[in-house]
Structure 1
Amino acid sequence: MKLSDGIEQSIHSVLMLASLGEDSVLAAAALAEFHGVSTSYLLKHLQALAGARILSSVPGPKGGYRLARAPDKISLLDIVIAIEGAAPAFRCAEIRQRGPSPLDAQFFRAPCGVNAAMLRAEQAYRAELRKISIADLATDPQTPLGAAIEARGCAFLDRHARRQSIST
C-alpha cells in the first residue's frame, strides 16, 4: 500500500503544531518552509485537516493553523482519513464475474476470499493507526536526537509562531 506524500507532511505538521502554545498559530508557509515542501501542496492538506476538525484555521494576515483538539485526541487514523478519505484502500471490482463462461450470480452473493482477506488486513491496519496518537509520537528531549529535534523546532517556532488573543 502506498500512501501519498501528504500523509507524512500532514503528520509532521500536526506534530509541529502540537508544540505551539494555546494562543499561537503557525502559517502554512512557515510549516512548508520548516519541512522543505511545497506550500500549495501542504495547504491543500492543512485545509483537509481543518475540515476534519483536527486543525483550526485562523483567517487573516496574522492567521494560521493550530490544533483543534488535544494531541492525545488525534490519532494517526484521523489524519489518514482526513487526507486519503474513509474508503478502504482495496476496492473489489468483482472481476470474478467477468470473462468467458461466468458463473451464476448466486455464487457472488458473499465476498470472495481475496476481498475478505484484504478487508481484514485493512481493519488491522486501521486498528493500529487508531491506537497511536500525536501525543504518543512526541520526541523524548532526554535523548540526543529528541533534544536536537526539540531545539530545531523551538527555535523555528520562536521566529514564526503568531500569537493570537483567545476570546472566551
Structure 2
Amino acid sequence: MGEGVEWGLHCCLALAWLDEQAPIPAGRLAEIFELPPVYLKKRLQPLVRAGVLASVAGARGGYRLARSPERITLMEVVAAVEGTTEAFRCTEIRQRGAGAEAAASDFAKPCGVAGAMRRAELAWRRELAAQTVADLLAASPAGAPARMRRFHERLGS
C-alpha cells in the first residue's frame, strides 16, 4: 500500500477535526502536513471521485468530507487511492517446472497458497470495511483536534 492511503486518511481526519462549513483549500491541507500542494491534490482527487470528499472549485474552494465520518469506511479510502485489485494474484506457477508433468486434474482446485492469500485478503478488507473515519477520530489522542484547529488558525483561516 502506498503512502497515498495514509495521506488520504489523515486528510479525512483533519477535515473532520476542522469541521468547518467552508471547504479547506488543498494548499492549506498541504501546509498542515508539510507536503507539496500538487502532490496532495493528486492524492485527494481519487477520494473526490469515490465520493469520500467533496471538492469545491474557485477562490474560496477546497475540500470537505462528502459524508459524515461515521459513513466513510477505511476500505473506501483504500479502494479509492489504491484501486480494487487484489493484492495477491495467483499466476499458477505450480504448473511450471516439475508441475508441468502433473495431470490437469491436479490443478482442478486452487492451491493452498492462493486459498490462504485470498482468505487473508478478505479478512483485511472486512476489517477495513468495519472501521470508519469516526472510529479513527475516537481513537485519536485527546489533544489532536484542538492542536489541528490551532495550527489551522495560525495559518490564517
TM-score, normalised relative to structure 1: 0.83
- Which residue is 2:44 aligned to? 46
Q: Which has the higher helix share?
A: 2
Aligned in 2, Cα 1:59/1:110: closer, same or farther, shift over 3 Å? same
Aligned in 2, Cα 1:45/1:161: closer, same or farther, shift over 3 Å? farther
Contact 2:32 2:151 in 1 (8 A): yes
Alignment of 1:99-138 (within 5 A): 99-100=97-98, 102=100, 103-138=102-137
Shift of the alpha carbon at 1:45?
Answer: 1.5
Contact 2:18 2:148 in 1 (8 A): no
- Which residue is 2:66 aligned to? 68
- Which range moved further: 100-109 or 83-92? 100-109
Shift of the alpha carbon at 1:22?
Answer: 5.3
Contact 1:20 1:161 in 2 (8 A): no
- Which residue is 1:157 aligned to? 152
- Which range moved further: 72-81 or 91-100? 91-100
> Where in structure 1 are there 5+ consecutive unaligned residues?
163-168
Contact 1:7 1:83 in 2 (8 A): yes
Secondary structure in 2 matching 1:60: coil
Q: d(CA) in 2 for partners of 1:160 and 1:108?
A: 61
Q: d(CA) in 1 for partners of 2:142 and 2:139?
A: 5
Alignment of 1:17-32 (within 5 A): 17-21=15-19, 23-32=21-30
Instruction: List per-residue Cα deviations over 1:10-69 (Å, max 9, x = no partner).
Output: 100011111244521111121111112232222112000001000011011221111111
Matched residue pairs, number?
A: 156
RMSD of aligned residue pairs (Cα, Å)? 2.1
Q: d(CA) in 2 for partners of 1:151 and 1:40?
A: 27
Secondary structure in 2 matching 1:19: helix
- Which residue is 1:146 aligned to? 142
> Where in structure 2 are there 5+ consecutive unaligned residues?
none
